[in-house]
């Protein structure tokens, strides 16, 4: 693929928009299926849990959360207007029941109340956080002490083999990410690395692996 094409793919993965957004959302669902399901399982949800998902895409996996535990409250948060729109369409029943809402915004500066959630999770978004420390500080503000933060990634050695990640991605290996969370007041409770079959994504067939890193917020200090 040309560098122009790689730049276009990177831009869409960061913030799906325009006519291509629906297709990008569907591709992400297919490519990240197992990764999302393992992430959801790792949350170990309980009745009345309050969840925030950072970057839910088109909301395809939200119903899986409610299949895991029907008595939860869920907020999906994304800075792609098109993905919020698609999520609302796909989860209209959960919205009507008052179980799920979807909001547009930048996770580094939200309007949520302090300690609003006891689970915050995200799949394949940390690469795009422009100010990682500010974003983690905001996550700590809106997460209850004792609540969990779960971040799922494709490790640096996998991500850096994708040609489009040269354009605006910051990649991590699991140890780097676990260290980052630990330095910010999280006790690491899970570092799970899973190998999958080779990934065919945008015509590129590459080695496929993901990691789920989870920490419990032990104290709220900025």
What's the CA gap between 167 and 14, in Å, rounded? Answer: 10
What is the predicted pLDDT for the residue at 203? 67
* For residue 6, pLDDT beyond 90: no
What is the predicted pLDDT for the residue at 148? 98
Averaged pLDDT score across all residues of the chain: 92
Split at pLDDT 50, 70, 90, the class of 7 is confident
* For residue 80, pLDDT beyond 80: yes
Per-residue pLDDT of 40-67, as tens digits, reads: 999 999 999 999 999 999 999 999 999 9
Catalogue all structural domains in the chain, each as residue range(s) with its CATH number.
3-217 (3.40.50.150)
Strand bridging mode 186-201 / 204-217:
antiparallel
What's the CA gap between 97 and 220, in Å, rounded? Answer: 33
């Amino acid at each position: 693929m040309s560098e122009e094409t790689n730049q276009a793919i990177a831009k869409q993965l960061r913030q799906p928009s325009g006519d291509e957004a629906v297709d990008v959302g569907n591709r992400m669902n297919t490519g990240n299926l197992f990764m999302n399901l393992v992430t959801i399982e790792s949350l170990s949800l309980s009745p009345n849990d309050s969840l925030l998902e950072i970057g839910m895409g088109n909301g395809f996996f939200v119903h899986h959360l409610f299949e895991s535990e029907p008595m939860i409250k869920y907020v999906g948060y994304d800075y792609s207007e098109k993905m919020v729109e698609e999520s609302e369409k796909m989860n209209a029943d959960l919205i009507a029941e008052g179980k799920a809402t979807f909001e547009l915004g930048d996770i580094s500066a939200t309007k949520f109340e302090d300690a609003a959630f006891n689970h915050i999770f995200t799949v394949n978004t940390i690469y795009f956080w422009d100010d990682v420390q500010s974003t983690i500080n905001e996550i700590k503000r809106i997460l209850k002490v004792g609540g969990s933060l779960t971040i799922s990634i494709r490790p640096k050695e996998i991500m850096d083999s994708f040609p489009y990640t040269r354009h605006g991605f910051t990649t991590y290996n699991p140890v780097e990410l676990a260290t980052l969370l630990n330095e910010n007041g999280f006790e690491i409770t899970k570092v799970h690395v899973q190998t999958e079959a080779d990934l065919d994504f945008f015509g590129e067939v590459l080695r496929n692996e993901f990691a789920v890193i989870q920490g419990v917020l032990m104290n709220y200090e900025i």
